[in-house]
A and B are shown apart, each in its own frame.
Chain A
Amino acid sequence: MKTELLHGTLEVMILKALSWGPMHGYGTGRWIEEQGGDALHIEEGSLYPALYRLERKGWIDAEWGLSEKNRRAKYYRLTTKGRQALKANASLWTNFAAAVGNVLNATDAPART
């Protein structure tokens, strides 16, 4: 359950990263880590499988291009389908996170019966 959630989280974050524009896999990981601060540590080993899974789902597609340092890199881009998926999943995650937050910050004690 926990890992499932994590997989889903990583994927939706990748989609969000790519919503700014095409990016290679390394850059995607870096961006997520930067945004999440120390609280989010991305397991590098799980980043690439997630990318490939998204590609298979048709949410992102890839193209080889040159990086800033003139290295050949695989650039990922959000597809239309991916954009829709991001929209749907992002609100799902925000709601979920908010709900979990509400629960954990609750001040009302359970009613006794």
Chain B
Amino acid sequence: MNAPTFRPPSARWRRYLRFWRANPKADVDDEIAFHLRERIDALVERGLSPAAAAEEALRSLGDIETLKRTCLALAEARENDNRRTEMFEVLRQDVSYALRTMRANLAFSFAIVLTLAIGIGATTAIFSVVDAVLLRPLPYVDADRIVMPMERYGSSGRGNASVGHYFDWSEQSQTFTTTAAAQGATYVIADGEPTRVYGLRVTPSFFDVQYMKPYAGRYFLPNETDESRVVVLSYPFWQSRFAGDSAVVGKQLTLNDKKYTVVGITPKAFTLSDGDERLWTPITFAPGQRTNYGAHFLFVFAKLKPGVTVGQAQRDLERVTEGIRRRYPDEMKERGVEAVAFRELLIGSYDKQLWVLLGAVTFVLLIGCANIASLLLARAAARRKEIAIRGAIGGARGRLVAQLLTESLVLALVGGVVGVAVAKLGIKLLMSAAPDGVPRLQDTSLSPQVLLFALAVTLLCGLLFGLAPALRATRVNLQAELRDGGRGSSGVVRDRLRSALIVTEIGVALVLLVSAGLFIRSAILLQQIPLGFDATGVTMMRMSLPPQRYQDAAAVTSAFQRIVDEVRQAPGVQRAAAATRVPMWGVSIDMGVTVEGRAPDPKRNLIGHVRLSTAGFLETLRVPLVRGRMLTDADLAPAAPWVVVVNDRFARQAFGDENAVGKRISGWTKGKDTPEWRQIVGVVGDTRAFGRDNDSPPEIYIPMTQAPDGAWDAFGRQMTVVARANGDQALGTPMRLAVGRVDRAIPIFNVQTMSTVLARSMATRRFSMLLLSLLGVTGLVLAAIGIYGVIAFFVTQRTHEIGVRLALGASSRNVVRLVVGQALVLSITGIVVGGLAAFWATRVLKTMLFQVDARDPMTYGAAAAMLVVVALVASFIPARRATRVDPLRAMSAAG
């Protein structure tokens, strides 16, 4: 017409868009256009020319573009408001509907919430430990760049480094910014009751490598040595010893009879576990030590240059170590170097165990979810009519799925909330039951990350067990459903889905049971390993003599002899003796051994672990004599001929099947040209000196009066006194009193019965086994419930068919066979699937097992048998019910 601007060409098209949804822009345009046309018409009626009318109409509206923009903004804001309220309204409806449904089926909801609460709670609890121990970064600055260069012994183990190694590594390596060394030391604090604390003597750079801002005071200055007499305290030690008195910085502390000034306190997080060092003093190396490559006692720490990998550091260290090997081929026999990330070293042994536990607990949760899904499927079947009606009266499929999903999510959230409470309890339980020494276990808490994890798990569970039933339930033929009253032909499909769930459940349960079984088998096998000694009724007491008062070897041995004599007199003591190492406790030093009349093997060192002992030590522990004789008091007399007793392992290593008794060996003769021959007078049985899960070392028992030069310094003037009781009572108190009669100032650092120490050495393994067994049993019970549910449902569904069969003359036996057979088919399928999964999954357990193959057929067989039995029992109850079906009623009811 006359004013084309009023009717944009696209207006017509945009109007069609309105068919799909409101189109505010088109609405505004059209409304303004309408206004203008009406206005123009009115003005023309009043006598204006059309052109003047159009101009006047436009003018009176003012700035049309601004007007349109204002209106559009308002319209869009309204649109958003509406959408939001609509969404909330839908959500509110769904949630309140879900809550009503929950209330209506209280027992049903309770079962689901309980299953979820336990599953989510347990998973969250274990995750909180994983979070604290494994996931949180170490507190030190640039902690991921800290490595520990270590010496490597043969193919077997990592060990401490010599002073020579430390200096060469520090000076010649090119991949580190800082290096530090530390030596473990025990300090006797004389103020008041003499106490021993474990500490480290460190190079001042130690606190540069493991840096955190000091809690109070400062760390060591680069030029400070042991002579500076300064000490840094750890936060826990400061708390326990000085009750957190901050005035302690600058005060003096008597350590090993010398006065040290406290210069600083480390922050709380610096100490990672209860077993860590309590204090630090600077270390001083004697000039001669710098070229010592034979005594290995240093922990070396280093900080990688930025961007340098552990592998690069490893190659760098190998290059330096090759240089040492060329200069000192003797010391470097079978020795190498290995750079290990500090973090890996710290949590390496817990890493896998915790992930395995988290995996296992997730499996239990999965079984739980499968059960819930199965329950919901069963209920969806019962609600088919309700859903069909909702569909018929216009509920879109999407809305129905959303409705059913909301129900599952509400269930999951309720379960999740209760689950967090369960997790709080679980964390307490885990922390009290966990073995000692797990780094940062004490930091376990329901942190925000953990809560987030719980929320994610909860939502995932809700989706997992809710989605399939929701999709299934809405995929119904509305007409058929309403016509034949909820007994549609789609039942078969649903049945298959539930069967698949059960197969999965049984498969997962099998993996759990096999894992638990492997751990149990390991523990049993381990328990059956002969220790080589009799631990019952033996009490051990570890002590070291202060070097100030017990300087030379004679003073040391006579003191220990007097102590042993006193302990032997103590009430209740049957036998007593002492040695530098008893099984599980004490310092173990190995030495290279030469056999008389035999040239040393250039490739392999003959090694023996040295134990200095009093007479009667092997008898006290009841280590059996293989041939020859034990050490006697006569061997300890001054000027007695030099003799040793060796264990079977050493005898076989050195002499094969030859009789070792009478042969002469020599070792620990550093700095001397001539060998010091010691005659083997007896061979004794092997002992598991490092615990049941470690091989027996080759051992050499030397009378303590015949100790090699410098041996007492190396052993730290330390021995463990063992006493066997008349019965199996603990002897701690009489032994302490006996030592007190010799010298009150001798610090005793630990008194324990041997059985306790042995049990504790197995604590970690036992803990894993216990938890896995618990999870396995939980999985089994849940699987049983699942089987029961499905079979019971199967029976209900087939009531009609069973009625017909019974009417046609089938016996109860046939019916039971039909029902139980159904369960058996499901379980065997599950076992096959689970078996394959377990084959693959248990590979990760390999290193955690003891003498059990991860594919141990016995374990697999037992787990499978257990599941079959459970399936039979769980299906027998509904099967019995099936036999009581009244054929007439069943058939007439079915129609």
Contact = CB atoms under 8 A, between A and B. Distances in A.
B62 A53 contact: no
A67 B74 CA distance: 24
A71 to B, nearest CB: 6
Interface in B64-123: 67, 70-71, 74-75, 77-78, 81
B67 to A, nearest CB: 5
> By DSSP majority rule, is chain B's interface helix, strand, loop, or mixed?
helix
Interface stretch (A5-13, A42-50, A94-102): A42-50
A24 interface: yes
Nearest to A29: B35
A38 B75 CA distance: 31
B37 A71 contact: yes
Nearest to A51: B71
Given A49-B74, A71-B37, A44 B31 contact: no
Nearest to A24: B34
A44 B62 contact: yes
Interface in A22-81: 24-26, 43-45, 48-49, 52-53, 55-56, 67, 69, 71-74
Q: Which of A24, A25, A43, A56 has the most CB of B within 10 A?
A: A56
B78 A26 contact: no
A77 B39 CA distance: 21
B27 interface: yes
A85 B614 CA distance: 104
Nearest to A49: B70
A25 B38 CA distance: 11
B67 A45 contact: yes
A62 B124 CA distance: 53
A55 B32 contact: no
Contact of A56 (B30, B41, B63, B78): B78
A49 B75 CA distance: 9
Contact of A49 (B37, B71, B81): B71
A25 B31 CA distance: 8
Contacts of B77: 56
Contact of B39 (A26, A45, A71): A26
Nearest to A74: B31
A69 B39 CA distance: 13
B60 interface: yes
B86 to A, nearest CB: 13
Contacts of A52: 70-71, 74-75, 78
B382 interface: no
Contacts of A69: 38, 41
A53 B77 CA distance: 10
B27 A74 contact: yes
Contacts of A53: 74
B61 interface: yes
Contacts of B67: 45, 48-49
A23 to B, nearest CB: 12
Nearest to A68: B38
Contacts of B38: 26, 67, 69, 71
Nearest to B35: A26
Interface of B: 27, 30-32, 34-35, 37-39, 41, 60-63, 67, 70-71, 74-75, 77-78, 81
Interface of A: 24-26, 43-45, 48-49, 52-53, 55-56, 67, 69, 71-74
11 contacts: A26-B35, A44-B62, A48-B31, A49-B71, A52-B74, A56-B77, A56-B78, A67-B34, A71-B37, A72-B34, A73-B31
